[in-house]
Amino acid sequence: MPCAKQPGRTRSEEVLYVARSRKVTSWNAKFLGLEGDGDLQFLLAGGDLLKVRSSSWKKTRFFKLQDDCRTLWTESRKIFRSHHAFTIDDISTVRHGRQSEGLKKYTAETVDPRCFSIVFKGRRRNLDLIASSEEEARSWVGGLEKIITSTRNLDRQQKAEHWIFNCMRKADVNADGKLSQDEMKDLLHFVNMEVDDDYAQMLFQQCDTSKSGYLSGAEIQRFYDLLTHREEIDVIFSEYAKTTGFMSAGDLQHFLVQEQREAATLDRAQDLIHTYEPDDTVKEKKLLSKDGFLMYLLQRDSFVLNPQHSGLYQDMSQPLNHYFISSSHNTYLMEDQLKGPSSTEAYIKALLLGCRCVELDCWDGPDDEPVVYHGYTLTSKILFKDAIRAIHEYAFKTSEYPVILSLENHCSVEQQRVMARHMSSILGPALLTRPLGDAMPAGFPSPEDLKRRFIVKGKRLNKLEVLYAAEESQDDDDVTEEEEDKEDEEEEEKRKNKKKLKLAKELSDMVVYCKSVHFHGFEDAKDNLSFYEMSSFKEGKALKLAEESANHYIQHNVAKLSRVYPAGSRTDSSNYNPVPLWNAGCQIVALNFQTRCADMSVNQGRFLVNGRSGYVLKPSYLRDAASEFEPITLTRGPWLQHKSLHVMVISGQQLPKVEAKKKSIVDPVVRVEVYGVPADVASKETKPVDNNGFNPEWNESFQFDVYVPELALVRFIVEDHDSASDNEFVGQYTLPFCSLQLGYRHVPLLNMNGDPLPSSGLFVHIMVVDAQ
């Protein structure tokens, strides 16, 4: 189904349009390194695919890659045709075969080779498709994967060039390869920038050297250069370029030492020149041009996150309870916990984000098959075995370190046995069912010891010690986890009167290092609980303990594991602030991963480092049994390392428009926040820049006092200023204070789902000094 000729074009105009479109396609394909690629050509030609939504809703749709090589366009075959589009940036992954819930449920195994799914970022529903042949399915999957990989491999400057080029193409309405003054203003609007008519006319006349009334060829290049010119880079470069307008290796070394606070050698500077200088003639002279300098600043290792911390850099041989562990609550839910859908996709998304503790709420299901859902609500149900299969397949794709299966067990003994069989058969030898070693352990093994292993958290009929004793004893304290934190008399009485849940030995025996028990106070835990016996705390109780008994909580968490989970009253699956719980040493601070919010952004920032392994080593004073650390009163100790953080917010680049207001230009404002112990919590904000999301400049400086740097996080937030209502979110980036790189740094921005905003970012200057 070829795209229909656009109305309003003559035959000759249509010929010119097609030729222009081919030229644009060729440029984009070459830019992505896919010129002449067969799969790309297949996608550009387009074709029919069967879209699957249910057993009864399967409809043919025409899909085609647009000439920008980044937008997929789809059209229905209705009389009144509708069409939709999405970009490559919207796609998380493409899966060949019947790998999605929908395709497994609504299609037969015989069509498996012809099936594929486009999995989107965020909450957007998967696109489940069936091609007419296996060969076509492979071409669709192969083509999309190549474009996704090529796009992600572009550096930030290349992404910006690609985006601006295609914005120019969009502004060139009649596709004549020229820009009129009105088209130039449209282009500025597309790139999130608005100027008054006088400035637009001045800019246009400055570029229209031929006085023809439109821009073409070198004039468009001149306009592009003016548009993308960064004055702040000129100022920095000229300060250090002492060799006839270029930087020598010595000049660059001086910049790296003086501004970036790097222990850079002359050899290091020469390597950077060789890597980033684009002009071969300049490179041969061992000099760095301004373009090369900007390319150095725009490469990932020069960003605000210390590249050494982005990889696995911490000691992974400490006991498991010495780490903060990325943890999810109600992991099976895609939305709210009253009527939202449950899905194996929710487990996949969480695990791919590095989550290492997932929750399964298990209930009796039909045909003796346990199900997972939020009990006594309208949330949909998934089979327990399907959840375990999804967890098994995706557990170690992002991180090789252990995954904790937190069981909320409401099943009958019979279906508990089914649960045990499924876990044993699906997880196989990766499921830990006995302590490591031959003797009764005295403490936890390390994440390194437990690589690619699954640990079950739940109730156990007896203590681990009985495995090494002649006779077995049995506890009768069998309750579900949600009851563990009920402490007032009325709730305690209800618990006593409630019929106790019976526990199947087969399931009980799978609980090794994470046995769920009641919390009866710190003294009781110290005197009566073994190291592997852990309690779960509702957020309210945990926060109260963290405020009123912080040091006791810290010492408790030196010896044992603690899990904190959101209050049941959060029916919208909202989240709480995890920072006070980390300050108290809590390891498993579980959040609703399906709800993207500021609290989840902070959680993502905490686990951004250490190879996104989902394990971050706690500071030494949170691992010391004799620790006197008090996060609120801040007594003197090794944790007190008073620093002065200086942040200059200089400029922004290619900020996106607010989704709900695509036709308006943003008025960006930047807020810098510090999270950590109460004394460190602070927030400072720039003035807004009116009508410019493309290249706004602020040049505003802030200073923060940070007393406990090892627990602090720094968050950059960009919002669209609105004087009449709340500001609207544009982008953010959060990282640990101790992972900041100093000097002139770019800050990549993420959307609310935690995905990168292509080409968007801030340019800042960071300095940290010891406070006087």
For residues 24-44, give the mean pLDDT.
90
For residues 59-68, give the mean pLDDT.
92
In the prediction, which pLDDT does 471 show? 54
What pLDDT, in 10s, does the model give residues 469-518? Answer: 865 555 545 445 554 444 444 444 445 445 566 999 999 999 999 999 99
CATH topology of domain 320-462+477-622: TIM Barrel (3.20.20)
User: Is 329 among the residues known to form the active site?
Assistant: yes
Torsional sign, CA 595, 325, 747, 272: negative
The answer, yes or no, to whether residue 765 has pLDDT greater than 70, is yes
In the prediction, which pLDDT does 4 show? 42
Class of domain 245-298: mainly alpha
The answer, yes or no, to whether residue 96 has pLDDT greater than 60, is yes
What pLDDT, in 10s, does the model give residues 188-208? Answer: 888 888 877 887 888 888 898
357 neighbors 454 (Cβ within 8 angstroms): no
Domains 320-462+477-622 and 643-770 in one fold = no
Structure tokens of 162? 């690609």
Q: Is the CATH number 3.40.50.2300 carried by domain 643-770? A: no
Q: Domain ranges in the chain?
A: 11-153, 157-228, 245-298, 320-462+477-622, 643-770
In the prediction, which pLDDT does 228 show? 85
In the prediction, which pLDDT does 161 show? 80
In the prediction, which pLDDT does 171 show? 82
Q: What is the DSSP string of 323-344?
A: EEEEEESSTTBSS-TTTPPB-H
335 neighbors 359 (Cβ within 8 angstroms): no
The alpha carbon of residue 38 and the mean position of all alpha carbons in its chain are separated, in whole angstroms, by 32
Q: Which of the four pLDDT bands, split at 50, 70 and 90, describes residue 165?
A: confident
407 neighbors 456 (Cβ within 8 angstroms): yes
| HEC per residue, 211-233 | CCCCECCHHHHHHHHHHHCCHHH
Q: Which of the four pLDDT bands, split at 50, 70 and 90, describes residue 82?
A: low
Q: How many CA atoms lie within 13 A of 660 on its CB side?
A: 5
The answer, yes or no, to whether residue 453 has pLDDT greater than 70, is yes
| CA pair distance 690, 199, nearest whole angstrom | 15
Of 162, 189, 329, 746, the catalytic one is 329
In the prediction, which pLDDT does 750 show? 96
Question: Greater confidence, 201 or 64?
Answer: 64
For residues 636-661, give the mean pLDDT.
92
Burial class (CB in 10 A: 0-12, 13-18, 19+), 205: exposed
In the prediction, which pLDDT does 10 show? 67
Q: Which of the four pLDDT bands, split at 50, 70 and 90, describes residue 303?
A: very high
The answer, yes or no, to whether residue 39 has pLDDT greater than 60, is yes
User: Is 552 among the residues known to form the active site?
Assistant: no
Torsional sign, CA 548, 552, 554, 556: negative
Q: What is the mean pLDDT of the chain?
A: 90
pTM, to two decimals: 0.91
In the prediction, which pLDDT does 480 show? 53
CATH no. for 157-228: 1.10.238.10
Q: Which of the four pLDDT bands, split at 50, 70 and 90, describes residue 175?
A: confident
Amino acid at 638: P
Q: Which residues of 85-112 are buried (b: 16+ CB within 10 A; e: fewer)?
A: ebebbbbbebbbbbbbbbbbebbeeebb
Question: Greater confidence, 663 or 319?
Answer: 319
3 state SS of 207: helix
Within 8 A by CB and 6+ apart from 139, the residues are: 38, 39, 42, 43
Question: Of 189-193, 275-279, 711-715, which has the strongest mean pLDDT?
Answer: 711-715
Least confident of 53-67, 145-159, 326-340, 749-763: 145-159
3 state SS of 116: strand
353 neighbors 593 (Cβ within 8 angstroms): yes
The answer, yes or no, to whether residue 83 has pLDDT greater than 50, is yes
Q: Is the CATH number 2.60.40.10 carried by domain 11-153? A: no
In the prediction, which pLDDT does 163 show? 79
The answer, yes or no, to whether residue 6 has pLDDT greater than 60, is no
For residues 213-224, give the mean pLDDT.
87
In the prediction, which pLDDT does 485 show? 47
The single residue listed with the structure tokens 């230009």 is 665
Torsional sign, CA 261, 265, 268, 272: positive
In the prediction, which pLDDT does 125 show? 87
Q: How many other CB atoms sit within 10 Å of the CB of residue 373?
A: 21
| CA pair distance 537, 560, nearest whole angstrom | 13
